[in-house]
Structures are given as C-alpha cells and as structure tokens.
C-alpha cells in the first residue's frame, strides 16, 4: 500500500499514458464497447490513486516525486544546490485540481462508451482522451516550469484533434479546431518565451527554486505579463474568449466536459504563477485588480452573450466564460489583499475559498449540463433550441439532471453553485460592494437564460418528430447521475468540502514559503 | 504529375534508399553519444519513405510499405518506451536501471577520449531506439496519408 502511495504521483500519469499507447493495439482486435470499458477502468484506477494521494497530502503535507532519481523524495542529491531533475510537487491546490481532473475524465470516458459507440476511429478518440487527461494531471502536478510547458502543449494538441473529431458531419468542427490550434500555439510560444526568460536569469527550471531566488527584475515583469495573459486566454477569460464558444460547442459532449477541466488547469497555472512563483514580490494590488477586472468582464459579457444564443451548447459555452469570471473574481480579491494581513485574514482567504470552491463546483455542474446537452443531441440530432421541445415526456432522467445542473449554475440553495457563490458574494462585498452586486446580477441573468433553455427544450407538448425518442443508454445516465449526486452532496454539506479540501488548497497558494521549502529543504 | 519518374531517378533511389536507411538507424543507435537521437534518426528514415513516394508514386509505395503495419509499429514503439520507464519503478519512474549494470547497454562510459562505445547509456539507448521506431512509423504514416490525400484531390480536380 505504501509502495503504491510512494509512486502514485508518477503512476497517476503513467497509467493513462500506457493505456493511450495500448489503445491502438487493442483497437485492432476489439472494435466494440470493450475499448470504452478498458479506458474507463484505467481512468477509474487513476481516480482511486488521486483520492489515495489526496488522503495522504491533506494529513501529511505535500508529496514530492523526482523522476528518474534514485529515490522519489530526494530532490537534492549530494553535491547539488538546485534540483535538476523533473520534479512533481503536489500540494493542497494541486491535488484539489487533480481530483477535478480525475472525476471529470473518468465520467467522460464512461459517458463515451455509449455516446461514441456509432463513430469510427474510436481508438484514436480514446488515445487522445487519455493523452488529454495525462496532460491535465501533468499541468496540475508538475513543479517544473518547462515540464508545465510540455504538458500544456500535449493538452493543446490532444484537444485540437478532439474538437475537430466530428469533422465528417460538417466543416464547423474543423474550423473550431483550427481556431483553438492558433490560440494554443500562441499561448505555448509565449509560455516558452517566459520559461526562457526565467532560465536565462536564474539557470533553473524548478518553480520552487525560481520562486526562492525571484528578483522581480524587468524581465520577470515581462514574463509575468506574458504568463498572465496567455493563461487567462487558455482559461477562456474575456477579452481572449473567442475560441471558447466554437471549441466547446463543436467538440463531442464528453470532450467538452473535459475541455472545461482543461481550461481550469490553465486557470490553476495562472494562480500558481501569481501566488507561488511571484507572491508578494509583485505588486499584488495591481495584478489583483487586473485579475478582478478580467473576472468581472468575463462574468458580465459571458452571460449577456449567452442569453441571446439559440444553440444549446454555444449558450452553455458562454456560461462557462461567465462562471470563469467568478473564480477570477474570488481569487483576484485574495491576491489584491495578499500584502495586507488584516484584510487577508478578515475576507481575503474567504474570497479565495469561494473562488477555488467554485472551480470544483463549476467543473461538476457545467460538466453535467454539457452531458445533458449531449444527451439531447444524441437523441434528437440537433443542438438548435428552436427545433427541440417537449422532450421531458420521453427523457425524464435527463430532465431531472438538467434541472439540477441549471439550478446549481444559477446558485439556487440546495445545490453546490449556491454554496460557493454565497461565499464569494459575502467576502467580495467587504472588499468592494459594487463587485458583489455585479456578481449577483450575473447570477440572475444566468437563471433567466437557463429558464429559457428548460422551457424550449423540455416543456410543451410532444413534437411530431420526437414521438419515438427514448431515454439515453445506461452508461450516459450513470455518468450524469454521478455528477448530479456530487452536486447535491456539495450543496448539502459545503462545510465538509470547504474545510477539508478548499481551505488547504487556499493555504497552499498563500504560503509561498511552504511551497519552496518542500523542494529546497529549510533554505 | 506522372505516376513514376524516369528510370535514372528510380535506379538512383533504389541505391540511395539503403544508405539513407543505414544513416537513419545510425543516428538512432548513437543517440546517446552523438548529436541526434531517436526522433532525428526516425525522421531521416521517414525521409527515405518520402523519396519512395516521389519516385515511384503513391500506389507502388502503398503496396511496398503497408500503412497498417506502420501504425502498429508506431504504437509498439511507444509501448516499449513507456515500459522501460515502468521497469525503473524499483527506484523511481524513468530510473535508469540499466546503466552501469554490466548487461545490455550497461557498460560504464569512459571519461575522456574514447572510440564511442555503443554499449553505454542504459535505458537512454533503449528508449532512443523505441522513439526511433515510433517516429519512423508515425512520420511514414503521415507521408503516406498525405500522398494518398493529394492523389485524391488531383483526381477530383480532373
């Protein structure tokens, strides 16, 4: 048992990677559902190991894994003053994101078993899905900034191919994929440039080591601007959100759910860079306000664009932008008061808890909503809301799941969206009442647009062309039901999650010293 | 474009093909000693495949190099690569368990002037070979797919 735990950081990414390479070979012999089951089992194992690590990290502190070293925990072999190998450093924040990735990718694979059954080229689909999962784990666990760039690239390439996967139906998926490819290439180049700036100045690539010697020179400022801009772009924040609606609406539904988590991995990297790499060496008030403004713009523009959409997945994609705004707002407030211990204690930490809790909640309910949209598409063959109607008669499970997801995203009490939004409203109000009021207004608009979706897709009399529509297959129902259960559980017992998962994650971000000393010892 | 090029080009290609192959495998096998490695060597080998497509045309090359086999080779190379990483799990993932072990690729490297002993490098050499197999197969598949696609487009334009 302890052996597995020692190697769990490596195995979590190694197992999906091995499976990704095995899938094309297995796919030669078994072209039916077997492939989907195999991938689900592998991702289920990764999920179990992530939970095992979470249990360990939350009670015993960060896990360190040195790749290729003689011992997993030996960061500085004798004679070395800086770490040279690739090191995975998983602290409270990293494992928090890791759990999201694990849950979402596992359910995405389960959902795919039935959803993708009719498609050809499934071995390529599952290979890419596994590679995307590996890359997301890597981005969240790595403690090496060049390694982060590598995983960012893997995630981008896998996502591009997955977005364009259904190009045989029309040209639009290819267009969305191309758009995302351009955005990702620019982002990757800028990250690489920033990595070069760090390496040129400090001769190290380990993030903890860079953080410990950070001088905040002019070059560091340039690197900061590059990293904040492109990571916000990859996270889908307004004014760099142009890829999000296309990519989210054209990808197959389970992939959209995983893409949401992938863009949150970029969001995580944004927080990691500002908090762990720079921390209070930077002018936290200015950067904090920049992130807050990005957040408020994303919230408001995202939701106003969403209301007018007719395509159900496009509408949800704009809501994803809007919800990203809440996370940026919460964590931005925390960053703005980072240098002020009194304010940080009284509302800064709470605001960050709200923002970070919202990351997990958003991954769950937005995942559920995209899956219900996928279920509607699976049975009706359209994403156009004007062509749907009366589906509640035949698809009762999907209807219930949609209600749960929509209530959660709108922040209605017994569901998880309410829990995190309430924390954000209360704490941000102490920072600046106006921001809190905008956040509430956005929430109301969110509710309005989901009432519209619910009415046009589910309510009304049975339509002629959908007389024979049935409930979706079991694997899709199971995936959606699991997410719905998580949403209700988080909504009923938010304290359990906030105290045990979210608070350690916030503390891991704030305490930069813990981050650096985990690698460098008591330097 | 004509399907095949002239007899002179075809004869020369047949001769050069062998040398390109040998050079490619040389770069792969000496990845741990000289500039280059699995990826670079694999690309050199795949460039020989591209030469075949140019000289003999799409159809004959497809018969000679089976795309199906190449894509199997691609996955096999990747699996071999990650298996070597897994074998290191006694210490850590990717641990170089073969180096200085005295067995395959296990001689210790001589410091200073030496003739370039191939039997060093441990798992690095083995992984270079795996990457070489993967890259030559993957780039081969890409070359063949692109030549097939361009032929389809040419037919459509006619």
Domain locations in chain A? 283-492
The helix/strand/coil state of A251 is coil
Helix (H) or strand (E) holding A315: helix A312-336
Chain B interface test: which of A7, A67, A68 (most B C-beta within 10 Å): A68
Q: What is the pLDDT of residue A523?
A: 44
CB atoms A11 and B82 under 8 Å: no
Task: Choose among A14, A28, A71: nearest Cβ to B93.
Answer: A14
CB atoms B82 and A66 under 8 Å: no
Task: Choose among A11, A24, A70: nearest Cβ to B95.
Answer: A70
Is a pLDDT exceeding 90 seen at residue B142?
A: yes
Is a pLDDT exceeding 50 seen at residue B46?
A: yes
Chain A interface test: which of B78, B91, B93, B133 (most A C-beta within 10 Å): B93
Is a pLDDT exceeding 90 seen at residue B102?
A: no
Q: Which residues of A touch B (CB under 8 A)?
A: 7, 10-11, 14, 17-18, 21-22, 24-25, 28, 65-72
Q: How far apart are CA A163 and CA A93, in angstroms?
A: 28
Chain A interface test: which of B73, B75, B134, B138 (most A C-beta within 10 Å): B75
Q: How far apart are CA B46 and CA A277, in angstroms?
A: 42
DSSP readout, A38-103?
Answer: HHHHHHHHHHHHHHHHHHHHHHH--EEEETTSSSTT-SS-TT-SS--S-EEEE-HHHHHHHHHHHH
Helix (H) or strand (E) holding A139: helix A122-141
Helix (H) or strand (E) holding A481: helix A474-492
**Are A510 and A275 spatial neighbours (Cβ–Cβ below 8 Å)?**
yes
CB atoms B79 and A66 under 8 Å: no
How high is the ipTM of this complex? 0.89
Taking the Cβ of residue B95 and every Cβ of chain A, the question of whether any pair is shorter than 8 Å is answered with yes
- Spell out the SS3 assignment of B74-89: HHHHHHHHHHHHHHHH
Q: How far apart are CA B146 and CA A307, in angstroms?
A: 43
Q: What is the pLDDT of residue A463?
A: 83
Q: What is the pLDDT of residue A14?
A: 93
Cite the beta strand spans of A316-454 per DSSP E: none
Taking the Cβ of residue B66 and every Cβ of chain A, the question of whether any pair is shorter than 8 Å is answered with no
The helix/strand/coil state of A129 is helix
What is the token pair recorded at A368? 């559920």
Q: How far apart are CA A406 and CA A415, in angstroms?
A: 10
DSSP β-bridge partners for residue A89: A64
**Are B27 and B41 spatial neighbours (Cβ–Cβ below 8 Å)?**
yes
Taking all residues of chain B, what is their mean pLDDT, rounded to a whole number? 89
Query: How many contacts (CB atoms, under 8 Å) link A and B?
Result: 54
Taking the Cβ of residue B89 and every Cβ of chain A, the question of whether any pair is shorter than 8 Å is answered with yes
CB atoms B88 and A72 under 8 Å: no
User: CA of B16, closest CA in chain A: separation in Å?
Assistant: 33
DSSP β-bridge partners for residue A142: A88
CB atoms A17 and B76 under 8 Å: no
- Spell out the SS3 assignment of chain B: CCCCCCHHHHHHHHHHHHHHHHHHHHHHHCCCCCCCCHHHHHHHHHHHHHHHHHHHHHHHHHHHCCHHHHHHHHHHHHHHHHHHHHHHHHCCCCCCCCCCCCCCCCCCCCCCCCCCCCCCCCHHHHHHHHHHHHHHHHHHHHHHHHHHHHHHHHHHHC
Q: How far apart are CA B16 and CA B10, in angstroms?
A: 10
Is a pLDDT exceeding 90 seen at residue B79?
A: yes
Task: Choose among A22, A25, A69: nearest Cβ to B72.
Answer: A25
Instruction: Please name the residue of chain A whose CA is at the shortest distance from the CA of residue B88.
Output: A68
* pLDDT tens for each residue of A182-238: 999 999 999 999 999 999 999 999 999 998 888 888 999 999 999 999 999 999 898
Which residue is associated with the tokens 């008669």?
A393
Q: What is the pLDDT of residue A70?
A: 84
**Are A11 and A4 spatial neighbours (Cβ–Cβ below 8 Å)?**
yes
CA atoms within 13 A on the CB side of A16: 32
Q: What's the whole-model pTM score? A: 0.94
**Are A67 and A87 spatial neighbours (Cβ–Cβ below 8 Å)?**
yes
Chain B interface test: which of A6, A9, A24 (most B C-beta within 10 Å): A24
What is the token pair recorded at A129? 């899905």
DSSP summary character for residue A502? I
Residues with Cβ within 8 Å of residue B108, at least 6 apart in sequence = B99, B100, B120
Weakly modelled stretches of chain A, pLDDT under 50: 523
What is the token pair recorded at A280? 């209070």
What is the token pair recorded at A79? 């004679």
Taking the Cβ of residue B94 and every Cβ of chain A, the question of whether any pair is shorter than 8 Å is answered with yes
- For A41, counting Cβ atoms within 10 Å of its Cβ (0-12 exposed, 13-18 middle, 19+ buried), the class is middle
What is the token pair recorded at A5? 């735990």
């Amino acid at each position: 048992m302890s052996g597995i735990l020692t190697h769990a950081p490596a195995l979590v990414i190694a197992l999906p990677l091995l499976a990704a390479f095995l899938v094309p070979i297995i796919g030669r012999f078994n072209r039916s559902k077997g492939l989907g089951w195999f991938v689900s089992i592998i991702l289920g194992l990764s999920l179990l190991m992530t939970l095992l690590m979470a249990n360990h990290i939350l009670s015993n502190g960060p896990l360190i894994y040195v790749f290729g070293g003689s011992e997993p925990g030996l960061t500085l072999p004798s004679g070395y003053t800086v770490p040279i190998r690739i090191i995975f450093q998983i602290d409270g924040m990293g494992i928090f994101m890791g759990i999201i990735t694990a849950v979402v990718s596992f359910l995405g694979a389960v959902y795919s078993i039935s959803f993708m059954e009719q498609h050809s080229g499934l071995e390529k689909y599952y290979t890419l899905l596994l590679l995307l999962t590996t890359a997301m784990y890597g981005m969240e666990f790595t403690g090496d900034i060049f390694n982060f760039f590598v995983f960012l690239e893997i995630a981008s390439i896998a996502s591009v191919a997955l977005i364009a996967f259904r190009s045989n139906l029309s040209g639009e998926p290819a267009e969305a994929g191309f758009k995302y490819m351009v955005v990702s290439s620019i982002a990757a180049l800028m990250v690489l440039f920033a990595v070069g700036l760090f390496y040129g100045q400090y001769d190290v690539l380990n993030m903890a080591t860079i953080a410990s010697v950070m001088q905040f020179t002019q070059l560091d400022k340039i690197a900061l601007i590059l990293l904040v801009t492109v990571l916000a772009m990859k996270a889908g924040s307004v004014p760099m959100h142009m890829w999000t609606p296309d990519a989210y609406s054209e990808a197959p539904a389970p992939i959209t759910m995983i893409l949401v988590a992938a863009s949150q991995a970029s969001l995580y990297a944004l927080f990691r860079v500002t908090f762990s790499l720079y921390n209070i060496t930077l002018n936290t008030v200015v950067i904090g306000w920049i992130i807050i403004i990005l957040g408020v713009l994303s919230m408001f523009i995202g939701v106003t664009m969403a209301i007018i959409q007719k395509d159900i997945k496009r509408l949800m994609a704009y809501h994803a932008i809007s919800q990203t705004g809440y996370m940026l707002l919460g964590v931005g407030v925390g960053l703005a008061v980072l240098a002020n211990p009194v304010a940080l204690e009284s509302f800064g930490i709470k605001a960050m808890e709200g923002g970070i809790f919202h990351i997990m909640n958003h991954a769950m309910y937005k995942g559920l909503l995209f899956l219900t949209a996928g279920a509607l598409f699976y049975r009706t063959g359209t994403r156009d809301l004007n062509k749907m109607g009366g589906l509640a008669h035949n698809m009762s499970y999907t209807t219930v799941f949609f209600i749960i997801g929509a209530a959660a995203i709108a922040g209605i009490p017994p569901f998880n969206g309410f829990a995190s939004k309430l924390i954000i409203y209360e704490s941000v109000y102490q920072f600046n009442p106006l921001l809190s009021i905008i956040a509430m207004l956005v929430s109301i608009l969110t509710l309005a647009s989901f009432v519209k979706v619910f009415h046009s897709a589910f309510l009304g009399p049975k339509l002629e062309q959908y007389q024979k529509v049935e409930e979706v297959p079991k694997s899709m129902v199971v995936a959606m039901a699991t997410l719905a259960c998580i949403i209700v559980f988080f909504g009923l017992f938010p304290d359990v999650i906030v105290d045990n998962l979210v608070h350690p994650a916030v503390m891991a971000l704030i305490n930069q010293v813990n981050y650096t000393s985990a690698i460098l010892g008591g330097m | 474009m004509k399907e095949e090029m002239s007899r002179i080009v075809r004869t020369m290609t047949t001769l050069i093909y062998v040398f390109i192959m040998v050079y490619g495998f040389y770069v792969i096998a000496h990845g741990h000693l000289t500039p280059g490695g699995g990826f670079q060597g694999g690309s050199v080998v795949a460039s020989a495949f591209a030469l075949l497509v140019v000289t003999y045309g799409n159809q004959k090359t497809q018969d000679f190099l089976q795309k199906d086999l190449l894509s199997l080779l691609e996955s096999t190379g990747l699996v071999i690569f990650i298996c070597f990483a897994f074998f290191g799990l006694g210490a850590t993932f990717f641990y170089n368990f073969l180096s200085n072990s005295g067995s395959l690729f296990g001689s210790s490297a001589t410091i200073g002037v030496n003739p370039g002993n191939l039997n060093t490098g441990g798992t690095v050499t083995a992984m270079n070979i795996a990457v070489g197999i993967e890259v030559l197969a993957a780039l081969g598949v890409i070359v063949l797919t692109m030549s097939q696609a361009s032929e389809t487009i040419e037919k459509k334009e006619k």
